[in-house]
Amino acid sequence: MTDKPSVLFVCVHNAGRSQMAAAWLRHLAGDSVEVRSAGSAPADRINPTAVEAMREVGIDITDQTPARLTWDTAEASDVIVTMGCGDACPVFPGKRYEDWKLTDPAGQPLDVVRQVRDDIKTHVTGLLSTLKP
């Protein structure tokens, strides 16, 4: 790990879970961690319910766009966190992996997405504690 650790959050569509996780890490870590997110089959846009759930806690993710997972993005990351993409998430040798079991917020009502948001914050807080020297 370099002086500034890098974390890549990956889910299938890069429209909900991985975007919320990246936003939480940016919010909690500031510029002390390089944050990336990607999807194995990215959606056209961020899940609007995820946008609303994050807005409720003062975090704006409207400027984010789902991105495709690439070899270069994974290779440049110290930690890769997968969220429900199963076999669609490739394994990159030599990387630290975490797999977070989280409900997919796609098509879920706001109250369910709020719970996913809060679960993600708990995971991100734990992850952040392992990244600091």
- Any idea which residues carry the catalytic annotation? 11, 85, 89
Q: Going by C-beta distance under 8 Å and a sequence separation of 6 or more, which residues neighbour residue 118?
A: none
CB 113 within 8 A of CB 53: yes
Q: Going by C-beta distance under 8 Å and a sequence separation of 6 or more, which residues neighbour residue 73?
A: 8, 36, 38, 67
Helix (H) or strand (E) holding 17: helix 17-29
d(CA 110, CA 7): 27
Three-state SS at 115: helix
Q: Which amino acid is it at 121? A: K
Q: Of how many residues is the chain composed?
A: 133
